[in-house]
Structure 1
Amino acid sequence: MRQIGLILEDGFQIMGLSALAAFEFANAELGRDGYRMTILSEHGGIVRSTLSAGIETVAFNVMPDTVMVAGELLPGPVSPGLKAYLVRAASEARRVAGVCTGAFVLAEAGLLDGRGATTHWAHARALRERFPAVRVEEDRIFMRDGNIWTSAGMSAAIDLALALIEDDHGAALARNVARRLVVYHRRPGGQSQFSALLELEPRSDRIKRALTYAKEHLRNALSVEELAEAARLSPRQFSRLFRAETGQSPAKAVESLRLEAARAMLEDGSHPLDVVARDTGFADRDRMRRAFLRAYGQPPAGLKRSLRLVGGAPAD
């Protein structure tokens, strides 16, 4: 049985606790206690979240298999005792993970020096400025560099936990746990923290309906006429309303959706480029390559190599 230790400090963000639900459901799927969860703090006792909810914790007198540090809304000072415990954990525990701004705590303890790491996008610049020895990848859901894992904020705690479960027990168990949690199995580590749909921010239900249709039918040509039909508008009305609400043409928005889906498939690592191009509607590799160069400054093959290094697999 593996022990998961989640470290909380006063002022922790309560979404960090969501990671424990994934391990709880993993036990249910396994039909046994594959994981034992322990909530830790430096001195033990009640630790309070930003919502004033109190959580009972135990002191640093154990060393779990996996040590996780929950984030705070605003990264605060790190006590000498916590830093010392994390330095020990880096060599004695099998894995150490920072959830959201928990990356700041790991960096303060020196665990991220020379490593790749991510955090909530709103704090990425501060992490980079305070800890120049850390290679900050601000647009990742989670990352793994050796035995050190970091994740973005909020719901990314679940993605990180699912990745840890997959690391322990394989993709099938992680998929079943994701289903129990009613979440996508699992967002790839290299997937952007920003959703193309959220970035477009359409106001009307009709444009939202058309974009949802596009995301679910990427293999289609997705012409203006097809999208207009999904929105129940004439092509002329649709084009005018779409640009007014999103600031983009329908073709540009569809390309963003295709790029997001293609990048996720590349990060998964098991799909040939021809399959990625076909399934995301680019039709051929050359068209997909041109779109990747415009968006990311590198071709799909180059991005696939970099994602394999820092988006969920051990770095060389």
Structure 2
Amino acid sequence: MNPADLLPAQSPDTASKQRIRFGIVLLPNFTLTAFSGFVDLLRLSADEGDFSKPVRCSWSVIGETLAPVRASCGIQITPWETFEKAEPFDYVVVVGGLLHSGAGASDATLQFIRRAATTDATLVGICTGVFSLMRAGVLDGYRICVSWFHYWDFVERFPGVNEEMLVADRLFVMDHRRITCSGGRASIDVAAAILLRHFEAATVQKALRILLVDDMQKGNAPQPHPPGLAPATHPKVKRAILLMEQHVGRSLTLDELAHKLDLSTRQLERLFKAETGKAPQAYAKQVRLRTAAWLLTSSDKTVADIASSCGFSDASHLGREFRKQFGLPPMMYREQRGTAAPGVETLELAADFDETFPGRAQAI
């Protein structure tokens, strides 16, 4: 059935003025959760009852052609219309997914994004859709939200990016006519935040309840942290650790970290001690050493290069700190990992890091 057939009886002009129009671009190997979460909140907010009519807002899946687009899980979605035939939208939403499997956004898709940027449309990048917005050159001067999992991929692919504008410790960022979202479950939250610009809160809250979502998360809520922290860990501490991981090559000072979190240094130290049992500086050093341990076993980088990448002054400095933490020098750790047992703590720390960052090896 054509989605237009679901509309109530009213003139096309009246309907188009009342509805907020969303054009959704699915990239090859897109994440189904990110797409379905976003569009389902539109669907449930668009109409009363259980009719799913696009009354308050409408959505259309658009593409270069009408050829099906495969999601990362194998499900295929057929675009409803092509870029050339699509009418103007209020929001153009680009949904990405896997970075290292097949082609990314086509030249035609990037050209469509650039054209949309010259209109009144707001551009939305979800999951790795943010990478395509960056490739299209439409994010200059805007804050950019990426998943913590893809932070280093982003920095590597776009080395000229202003890292002060790059955010990987929040669920999403709304910066005027650019909205970027870390993906996954957060696609529901960003859809809710967008709809709250246009609809009454009760309408959006009803849709969230139908999806069994207690309440939408705000953009400044921290992204879920990798294993190792208790679920009840304070959000400010989670964000602090994410910031430490982002700046592993140049450690943030305590003052800089506290400023980014809108805390005093004393508040930050007190929170960190209560939640982790460590001071922020000690925890940051542990993050850097864990990163170095992972690089030793997953890359061919020299110890000197790893020391530089992880914020140590030189190979000797890394060697001293590494022996204190792991009980053996870096090169011996590299040689023995997986063949001998240098200590349970050593192997567990490295294994935890492998689980936390399974995609990092492809980015180095």
For Structure 1 versus Structure 2, the TM-score category normalised by the shorter chain is: 0.5 to 0.7
The alpha-carbon distance between structure 1 residues 20 and 291, as it changes in their structure 2 partners (threshold 3 A), is: same
**Which residue of the other structure, out of 97, 122, 136, is the alignment partner of 1:72?**
97
Please state how far the C-alpha of 1:55 moved relative to its aligned partner: 0.9
Given residue 99 of structure 2, which amino acid in structure 1 is its aligned partner? L
Please state how far the C-alpha of 1:144 moved relative to its aligned partner: 1.1
Given residue 68 of structure 2, which amino acid in structure 1 is its aligned partner? I
Please state how far the C-alpha of 1:260 moved relative to its aligned partner: 7.2
Asked whether the 8 Å contact 2:27–2:104 carries over to 1, the reply is no
Asked whether the 8 Å contact 1:259–1:291 carries over to 2, the reply is no
Residue matched to 2:127:
100
Q: CA RMSD in A?
A: 2.8
Residue matched to 1:280:
none
Q: Distance in 1 between matches of 2:167 and 2:204?
A: 24
Please state how far the C-alpha of 1:108 moved relative to its aligned partner: 0.3
Alignment deviations for residues 31-66 of structure 1 (CA, whole Å, 9 cap, x no partner): 861111101111223111122212110210213221
Answering whether residue 41 of structure 2 is matched by residue 22 of structure 1, we say yes
Q: Distance in 1 between matches of 2:54 and 2:112?
A: 30
The alpha-carbon distance between structure 1 residues 257 and 147, as it changes in their structure 2 partners (threshold 3 A), is: closer
The alpha-carbon distance between structure 1 residues 128 and 170, as it changes in their structure 2 partners (threshold 3 A), is: farther
**Which residue of the other structure, out of 202, 221, 229, is the alignment partner of 1:200?**
229
Answering whether residue 71 of structure 2 is matched by residue 52 of structure 1, we say no
Q: Distance in 2 between matches of 1:148 and 1:154?
A: 19
1:214-229 to structure 2, matched below 5 A, reads: none
The alpha-carbon distance between structure 1 residues 179 and 292, as it changes in their structure 2 partners (threshold 3 A), is: farther
The alpha-carbon distance between structure 1 residues 113 and 129, as it changes in their structure 2 partners (threshold 3 A), is: farther
Please state how far the C-alpha of 1:179 moved relative to its aligned partner: 1.3
Alignment deviations for residues 164-193 of structure 1 (CA, whole Å, 9 cap, x no partner): 111121433222221121113211101110
Alignment deviations for residues 2-22 of structure 1 (CA, whole Å, 9 cap, x no partner): 211110122111112221000
Q: Where does structure 2 lack aligned partners over 5 or more consecutive residues? A: 1-18, 240-262, 273-364
Alignment deviations for residues 56-92 of structure 1 (CA, whole Å, 9 cap, x no partner): 1021021322110011121653322111110111121
Alignment deviations for residues 180-226 of structure 1 (CA, whole Å, 9 cap, x no partner): 21113211101110259x6435xxxxxxxxx7xxx6xxxxxxxxxxx
Q: Which has the larger radius of gyration?
A: 2
Given residue 6 of structure 1, which amino acid in structure 2 is its aligned partner? I
Give the match's secondary structure for 1:98.
strand
Asked whether the 8 Å contact 1:128–1:136 carries over to 2, the reply is no
Give the match's secondary structure for 1:190.
coil
TM-score by length of structure 2 reads: 0.54
Q: Distance in 1 between matches of 2:205 and 2:140?
A: 33
Please state how far the C-alpha of 1:259 moved relative to its aligned partner: 6.4
Alignment deviations for residues 236-279 of structure 1 (CA, whole Å, 9 cap, x no partner): xxxxxxxxxxxxxxxxx5xx368679xxxxxxxxxxxxxxxxxx
Give the match's secondary structure for 2:68.
strand
Asked whether the 8 Å contact 1:117–1:137 carries over to 2, the reply is yes
**Which residue of the other structure, out of 17, 20, 30, is the alignment partner of 1:12?**
30
Q: Distance in 1 between matches of 2:48 and 2:265?
A: 41
**Which residue of the other structure, out of 15, 20, 23, is the alignment partner of 1:2?**
20
Asked whether the 8 Å contact 2:221–2:235 carries over to 1, the reply is no
Please state how far the C-alpha of 1:28 moved relative to its aligned partner: 2.7
Q: Distance in 1 between matches of 2:20 and 2:140?
A: 27
Asked whether the 8 Å contact 1:114–1:133 carries over to 2, the reply is no
Residue matched to 1:271:
none
Q: Distance in 2 between matches of 1:51 and 1:24?
A: 22
Asked whether the 8 Å contact 1:67–1:93 carries over to 2, the reply is no
Q: Distance in 1 between matches of 2:41 and 2:77?
A: 18
Higher relative contact order (CA 8 A, sep 6+): 1
Q: Distance in 1 between matches of 2:73 and 2:153?
A: 24
1:138-177 to structure 2, matched below 5 A, reads: 138-177=168-207
The alpha-carbon distance between structure 1 residues 21 and 32, as it changes in their structure 2 partners (threshold 3 A), is: closer
Answering whether residue 111 of structure 2 is matched by residue 84 of structure 1, we say yes
How many residue pairs get aligned? The number is 219
Give the match's secondary structure for 2:22.
strand
**Which residue of the other structure, out of 114, 125, 128, is the alignment partner of 2:141?**
114
Give the match's secondary structure for 1:97.
strand
Residue matched to 1:188:
218
Q: Where does structure 1 lack aligned partners over 5 or more consecutive residues? A: 202-210, 216-252, 262-286, 297-316
Answering whether residue 63 of structure 2 is matched by residue 41 of structure 1, we say yes
Give the match's secondary structure for 1:4.
strand
Q: Distance in 2 between matches of 1:173 and 1:47?
A: 31
1:227-242 to structure 2, matched below 5 A, reads: none
Asked whether the 8 Å contact 2:42–2:57 carries over to 1, the reply is yes
Q: Distance in 2 between matches of 1:90 and 1:199?
A: 41
Given residue 69 of structure 1, which amino acid in structure 2 is its aligned partner? V
Given residue 61 of structure 2, which amino acid in structure 1 is its aligned partner? I
Please state how far the C-alpha of 1:140 moved relative to its aligned partner: 1.0
Asked whether the 8 Å contact 2:125–2:179 carries over to 1, the reply is yes
